[in-house]
Each structure stands twice: as structure tokens, then as C-alpha cells.
Structure 1
Amino acid sequence: MVRRTPRELPAPALRLPAEAVAAMREDLPVVAERVVQAIVEEVPSYVAAFDGSMGETIRNAVQLALGGFLTLASGRRGVDLRTPAPAMEGAYQLGRGEARSGRTTDALLAAYRIGARVSWREMSTRAVDAGLDGETLAAFAELVFAYIDELSAASVAGHEDELATTGRVRTRLLERVARALLDGSPEDAVVEAAERADWPPPTTLTAVLVPRSQVRPVLGMVPPATLEAGEAGGPEDVGVLLVPDAHGRSRGALLRTLRGRGAVVGPSRPWLEVRASYVRARRAHALGLRDDTEAHLPTLVLTADPDALADLRAQALAPMADLRPAAAEKLTETLRSWLLHQGRREDVAADLFVHPQTVRYRLGQLRELYGDRLEDPRTVLGLTLALGVVEPDQVPED
């Protein structure tokens, strides 16, 4: 194991007044709780982390770190301003625990940044109330952030050490669970893989495709039990994540987390049926669709059988086959808009940016071509399906 040796911190002449240190130490439980609350609110993967024994461990680590800092800042350690060993050990063990919980160093460092911000806000307020001058306050700030840097580095070292041993083994086991789910392996084989990886199955799983460059950042924001599929046989530039229990109201939170990251989010499915979510997300990705596949269901349905769609389109537009391409294109877009706007001429004109009289003229041409068939429900259904996708040729291959 690689243990980080505390280095000498800056501002060796800093010594806070005893009354200021005493006031800050009295506030430690409140400050620690505010730090915890800010982390829960700002780092999604920590929402459920503070329940049970792990939550108590993290709270204790926060108080231990703050207490160690006050011991350091009080000057009782003389000129040897080094991070107290108990605080360093607590940070190191916290990093190991976070690795065992499945959280990434991205989430861990984000928590440290938030902790530094909240701690500085609270302690600097006490320092100002105690009458610290500007020069001392600046030295105090330098010591705060150097101290947090030391602790975060110790936690990262603990995280890396844990992954270097049992963590990496478990990561490989979790990847096998993901691959078994996506490969369509027998149910008993998937359940056995989950048990071997010590991965408690959720109620549902949601397949998410994200660009490779976004996999690490996204893993820091989604629940720690999320599975990463590794090489899942999909596009090389895309990573596959299986997010647990992102159904119902939780789906909205997931979509907000992924906004702007080029992700494709499949539907939530019972965990053993997540392959269906993955297949839909892959089809949406191949069509160039992004974000929530539930918002693209008409397109996905209409492009499910590209050959049938092409035949239906040719059949539905057969009356325009002898027209010049430019004329056929104008009448086709008018017919599509007329169908989607249920015959409301003003709405069609606004949709196409033409005068209502132009719409009337084109509809007259269409009635000449189609005759009474435009009143036939089956013809209208066929035309609606055929024209429901703007660019039906952009269809993925299985």
C-alpha cells in the first residue's frame, strides 16, 4: 500500500487566537453537518451514501478532518505544520471505503471541493468575528486549502490502493454481470454472476449510451451501483452504462444529469430485461437521436422495419410518381403537414411558411391525384405512417 507522507504546510508563523479556535471547535458538529448536507445536495452519487454505517464513517471523517485542522491552526504543534496523522489516516481509509462503495475519485474530489468551500465559509466567519486582520486571514485561507489538498490526496491514494487489490477484481466481476445482461445469457447465469460480484439486483435498469470521453464524469454523478459494460459490441466511440432504479420520478433526475453530454437514454426495464433498453438505445443512437428515447417513440416505431417503410412510402405516394421531382416534393410536404394538422389550412400555411391560398391550390392538386382515397381511413393511415418520418432513409442496420 502507498501511504502519503504528510508534507510541511505553508504559513508556519500562523497561530490563531485561542478564543477563535475555541469558538470554531465548538461549532465543529454544525459545520460538519453543513458540509455533509452540501455534498448530498450537489453530488448526486452521495444521495444515499449517508445512510447506515457508511454515513456515520463519512461524518466522523469530516469531523476528524476539521478537528485536525484546528489543532494545526492553533499553533500547538509549533513550527512543524504537518497534517495530523489521525486526519491523514482517516482520509486514507475514507478513500478506501469510497472505492468499496463503487464511487469514483471524481465524486470524491467533488465532495472535497464542496467541503473546502463550506468549511472555509463557516470558519472564516468565526475568524472575522474574532477580529483577525487581513494578513492573518489570508494566511488562514492558504492553510485551509493546502490542508484540504493534503487530505484529498490521501483519500485518492486510499481509493487507488483499494482498487489495486479487491477493487479491480470486483470491477471485472461487475463488467461480467453487465455483459451477461446485454448478451442475452440465461437468467440463472446472470443471477449467478450478480451474486459472485456481490451486486444486489435493483428493481429496474436503464441502458445509457454516452461518448467515451463522458463515461468517467457520468459515473461520478449516477448511483454507485451503476454497471459499466466495457466492450459491449456497440459503436467503439460509445460507452454503455446500466443505471439502477432510474424509473418513475428518478428518470427525470437522470435526464437532467445527462443533459448536454450527448447521451442516449433507453427505457427503464426490469433488471433482467435490460437488453431491450440497450437495443432501443442503440437504434436511437444509429438514427442520430439523442437524450430520452421515450421522446422519439414515433420515429423508432416507424423505422423499425426499413424495407416495409420504404414499400409503404412508395405505395402511398404512387399517385405522384409521374410528377417532376420538385413538384412532388412540394406536394409531399403539403400532404404531410395537412395530415399532421388534421386539415387545418391556416396551421398548414404557418408550418410551411406559405400563403393559405398556396395551400388551397396544392390541396386541390392532391385531390385530383388521390380522388376519394383522401377520405378513406385506411389510405389516411397509410399516408400518415409513410410520411411520419421526415427522412425515412436514415434507418439503422441490425
Structure 2
Amino acid sequence: MATTSGDEPWTSVRPAVAPLLRAVTAELADQMVAEIQARVPEYSRPADDMYIKVLHLGVAEALRRFVDRIERPRQPWDPEVFRAIGRGEAAEGRDLEPFQTAMRLGARVAWRRLTEQAEQLGLDPPTLYDLGEAIFVFLDQLADAATDGYNEARAGAAGEMERRRRRLLDLLLSRPPASPEAIAGLAKAAGWRLPRTVAGVALAERDDYRAPSLPPDVLAGLDHGDPCLLVPDPAGPGRVRAVEAALRGFRAALGPPVPLASAATSLRWAREALALAARGVLDDRRGVLRCTDHMATLIVFRDEELVAVLAESRLAPLAHLRPAQRDRLAETLLAWLRCGRAAGEVAAQLHVHPQTVRYRLRQLEELYGDQLDDPDARFELEIVLRARQARGGPAARD
């Protein structure tokens, strides 16, 4: 029966009906529980006491609250009991659907029994129709309350797990390293399997920061001052590719794989690679920088002041030349050192005629003399020439 009251449908049912209903609630509760256990598999397990307790509590409380609302329709309704049931289902790791199915089935049982006993209870058809509407409105309210509690608990649990994972990341990146026992304990609490190796990922800050969709076992510190990630078992099949796909559009660097206790070291290398990319020393335009592809450059730039002192000494024979000539000879010398001193390969790499390379090599021999026969001198020359090239020299980058 349609009504327009703000308290509908409760004000449509005469309060005098409440004592009639209360007299049959115990019998009705037993019938509802029996029907639910017969038709909802989750409640047909006699060994699962918790499910049965929740079922009896839910049915008894729903009937009591329903009758109370018929008797006092304008009294504020407190849904906390059903919120608590929803939270309890979440805490037990169960899905909420069986409980809601049980409540819907219970409502149909209640409506059917009331229609069967309408004459005995003195319920005329209009009252019976209003009761039916009230039952199903009440059912929706119960379902909403249970869902709110369930979602609240799930969100709280997820938030707590995320807090534990952030604490674990901080512990793994601490210097000096935390004890293995402390790490193992927190990893267990965070649901994180301890890997044999890890790799740190450094991320550049950005104004339009969005959280990447990462594999679930990657520890994320996106709210750190220097955003970072920790990738477990980076050598596993497809591991790095999955992280790179998630970071598409980000400026990021992946540190080398290291034992778990050295996680901070891997992240430090990743941050140094990212800093070199920001200076234009490393090229990150093709995606995530992998430190393992640029170890020589990272080592060379680990102490730039020392490399500068070495360069001043080893490149002194070129200092008096014109800039263009100095660049050509430096480029040729680096290619010659890389190619095993083969003029033909140098010519192919530099895209010049072999005779041009031989002419330049003769110039270099005149400038350097016996130094080019000294393995230590050649090694130091390659270091400083690589550094010169990475800082913007004319040769192609490694």
C-alpha cells in the first residue's frame, strides 16, 4: 500500500500489531534458521560454530528490531548491530554474500508464514500488505548496514596491511641494516614473502603524480621524500618487464639485483642513475633506466672530482689543440681503445674513411708517445674519455 509519510512504511502499520508479531517471533526465528540452513550451503556446516552463531544472532536481532520499529516507528534506528555483523564477517575472512542471501531468504520465510497465519493473528489484507512492504524495506536497511560494516573492516584491514608494508620498506632501506629477525617478523605480519634478492627503483617526483598499478608483491614508498619501490626477485621471469610496464610514463631507474640485506645499496645506485639522467649523462627516453646497462658510467661518475684530476693529467696532450680538432682526436682515441686498436673497426664505428683514422692515429701517437703502449695508461684514458663523452662529447653514448 503506497504511503507518503517520511517514516514509511512503519507508520502505515498499526502499532497494535507489534504484540501480535512478538508472540510468534521465537517460532518464526526457528523456522527462518531451519530454512536458511537447508538452502544456504555456508550455513549447513554443523562444525562451523561461528557461522551458526552469526546466523542465530542476525535472525533474532532482525526480528526484534523489526517488531520494535512497528511499535515505535519514529524512534531512531541504530544499525550498529548489523554493522558489527558485517565487520565480523570481514574479520573472519568470509564473503558477505552468504549472510545477505540468508537474510533475503529469511525475509521470504517470514512473509510466507505471516500470510499463512494472517487469519489466526487477526491481520486484515491492508495490514498484511503494509507488513510485506515493511519487511522488504527493512531487509534493504539491514543489508546496507552489514555492507557498510563489512567495507569499513576491509578498508581498515587493507590500510593496516599497507602501513605494515610501508614500515617493512623503511626497515629494509635503513642504514645500518636491520636485523634479519626484525625483518622476518615484520615481513610475516605484512604478508610479504622474503625474497633472495631485491632491486630498488628510484622515481622522479612529478606534479601530476598517479599511483602506478604495480605487481602486488612490490613494496611501494610513493609518499617518501624521494619516491621509491622495492622489487623482490627481479631476475624472475617477466618481473622487470611487469614493473617497467607499470611505470610507463614515469622517469625511473632500476638498481642492480642485490641480496635482501643490501636493498639500500641497490636503491642508492638507482637514485644516482636517475640523477645522471636528469643531467643528460644517461639517456632515459626509452623507459626505465636499468643500472646494469650503465655500470661503467655509474662507476666513472661515482667520484667526479677524482676523474677530473685524472682527466687533466691524461688529456693534457690534447689541451693545446683547437676544440674541433681536440674533439675529433678524443672521439677517435676512445673508439680505438674500445675496438681493440683496430683501425678498420674504428673507421666503421665513426663512419669515416680508414685512411682518415690512420692519419688521426698517427697524430695521437705523436702526442702520446709510449703511453699508448702502457695498459694502465690506456685503461685510465678510456675512463676519462668515457666520462668526457657522457658529459656531452660528440661520440655516441654507450
TM-score (normalizing by structure 2): 0.52
Candidates 308, 311, 314, aligned match of 2:309: 311
Conserved 8 A contact 2:297-2:387: yes
1:317 Cα offset (Å): 0.6
Is 1:225–2:208 an aligned residue pair?
no
- 2:268 aligned partner: 279
Contact conserved, 1:349 with 1:355, CA < 8 A, in 2? yes
Q: 1:392 to 1:248 in 2, by over 3 A?
A: same
Question: In structure 1, how many angstroms separate the alpha carbons of the residues matched to 2:335 and 2:264?
Answer: 36
Aligned position for 2:232:
244
Change (3 A) 1:345 1:168: same
Q: Do residues 207 (structure 1) and 195 (structure 2) align?
A: no
Count, aligned residues: 238
Radius of gyration: which is bigger? 2
Give, in angstroms, the shift of residue 370 of structure 1.
0.7
- 1:260/1:351 Cα in 2 relative to 1: closer, same or farther (>3 Å)? farther
- Structure with bigger RCO (C-alpha 8 Å, 6+ apart): 1
Describe the superposition over 1:312-357 as per-residue Cα deviations: whole angstroms up to 9, x where unpaired. Answer: 1111111112112222111111111111112222221222222222
C-alpha displacement of 1:280: 0.9
Structure 2 unaligned residues grouped into runs of 5+:
1-85, 95-146, 393-398
Q: What CA RMSD, in Å, does the superposition of the two structures yield over aligned residues?
A: 3.3
Amino acid at match of 2:164: L
Looking at structure 2, the residues matched to 252 and 158 of structure 1 have their Cα atoms a distance apart, in angstroms, of: 39
Query: Counterparts of 2:301 and 2:378 in 1: how far apart (Å)?
Result: 19
**Which secondary structure state, in structure 1, belongs to the residue aligned with residue 363 of structure 2?**
helix
User: CA offsets, 1:352-375, max 9 Å, x none?
Assistant: 222222211111111111112111
Within 5 A, what are the aligned runs for 1:10-29?
none
Contact 1:338 1:348 in 2 (8 A): yes
> Residue in 1 aligned with 2:165?
174
How does 1:215-364 map onto structure 2 within 5 Å? 216-219=211-214, 222=215, 224-234=216-226, 239-251=227-239, 253-254=241-242, 257=245, 260-261=248-249, 262-288=251-277, 289=282, 290=284, 291-364=289-362
Match of 2:376 in 1: 378
Call closer, same or farther: CA 1:248–1:387 in 2, change over 3 Å: farther
CA distance 1:326–1:260, shift in 2 (3 Å): same
Pairwise CA distance, 1:383? 0.8
Query: How far apart, CA to CA, are the structure 2 residues paired with 1:226 and 1:159?
Result: 27
- Aligned AA for 2:220? E
Equivalent pair of 1:179/1:232 in contact (CA under 8 Å): no
> What SS does the aligned partner of 1:183 have?
coil
Give how far 1:198 is off: 4.5
Cα drift, residue 233 of structure 1:
3.5
Deviation at 1:393, TM superposition (A): 4.4
Secondary structure of the equivalent of 2:293? helix
Paired AA for residue 276 in structure 1: T
**TM-score under structure 1 normalisation?**
0.52
Deviations 1:92-137 (A, max 9, x none): 99xx79x99xxxxxxxxxxxxxxxxxxxxxxxxxxxxxxxxxxxxx
